[in-house]
Amino acid sequence: AQSVTQLGSHVSVSEGALVLLRCNYSSSVPPYLFWYVQYPNQGLQLLLKYTSAATLVKGINGFEAEFKKSETSFHLTKPSAHMSDAAEYFCAVSDQGYSSASKIIFGSGTRLSIRP
Amino acid sequence: GAVVSQHPSWVICKSGTSVKIECRSLDFQATTMFWYRQFPKQSLMLMATSNEGSKATYEQGVEKDKFLINHASLTLSTLTVTSAHPEDSSFYICSARDIQIYGYTFGSGTRLTVV
């Protein structure tokens, strides 16, 4: 079974500061990993994904994440926070299969607040 | 890029009635679609996985007779909440898997309020 754990349900940083959202995964097979962002009353937008290629993945809006197998982590970072980054962020894991049983499982989410 | 259209974006219905939510993949074929439910300030809970042309697979604890899922074509899946009650009020989100890019694209969600 696969799962992800997001450490910290709420993270608050100052505008311009480093953003670090933590995600640890558990998977019995090589995982695919994702970070999504959700704004209020909206669906999910993909920020970036890891699919067993480069371990450092760059996404949209200046976000990036590094896959660390030894630490089973996939933390999301951004060097300088903007007010528009305030949202809910979800880490997710999927196996690499294309079978009908393959699915994506979400973490509990981290709400990011940006202080002026 | 891949786009998933979900309608309606919000709906209010009376208790005891049924509501249908549509999820369409606009520019790719989605052999597999997923339905999630999200309570306020919580994560997405997978309700069921639907594969085109076959019966949906429901997660444990989800009532299949209450949440009817149909995936009749490669671009359309529907979720029908039957005999809705106030406790069914929630945010429902669909997702389609694109095997060409191995990605999951999400609809914009449907806010269901049962009064």
pLDDT per residue over B65-76, tens digit each?
999 999 888 899
**CB contact at 8 A, A101 and A12:** no
Q: Which residue of B has its CA nearest to A32?
A: B102
Contact A103 B34 (CB under 8 A): yes
pLDDT of residue A24: 97
A107 closest CB neighbour out of B6, B43, B108: B43
Helix-then-strand count for chain B, H and E? 0, 11
Q: How many CB pairs under 8 A join A and B?
A: 57
The CA distance from A15 to A22, in Å, is 19
The pLDDT-based confidence of A1 (bands split at 50, 70, 90) is confident
Q: Which of residues 76-105 of A touch B (CB under 8 A)?
A: 90, 92, 94, 96, 98, 100-105
Q: Does A44 touch chain B (CB under 8 A)?
A: yes
Rounded to a whole number of angstroms, the distance from the CA of B19 to the nearest CA of chain A is 19
pLDDT of residue A99: 58
Region A56-84: mean pLDDT is: 96
Which of the pair, A51 or B108, is modelled with greater confidence? B108
Beta carbons within 8 Å of B103's beta carbon, 6+ residues apart: A46, A49, B2, B97
Region A58-70: mean pLDDT is: 95
Is the model's pLDDT at A100 over the cut of 60? no
- Maximum CA pair distance of chain B? 42
pLDDT digits (tens, 9 = 90+) for B75-88: 999 999 999 999 99
pLDDT of residue A53: 78
The CA distance from B31 to B102, in Å, is 12
3-state secondary structure of A103: coil
Identify all chain A residues contacting B32, using CB atoms and an 8 Å cutoff: 100, 102
pLDDT digits (tens, 9 = 90+) for A73-99: 999 999 999 999 999 999 999 876 555
A83 φ/ψ angles, rounded to the nearest 5 degrees: -55, -35
**CB contact at 8 A, A36 and A49:** no
Is the model's pLDDT at A71 over the cut of 90? yes
The pLDDT-based confidence of B27 (bands split at 50, 70, 90) is confident
At residue B107, what is the residue type?
G
Cβ-based neighbour number of residue B68 at 10 Å = 16
Beta carbons within 8 Å of A41's beta carbon, 6+ residues apart: B91, B109, B111
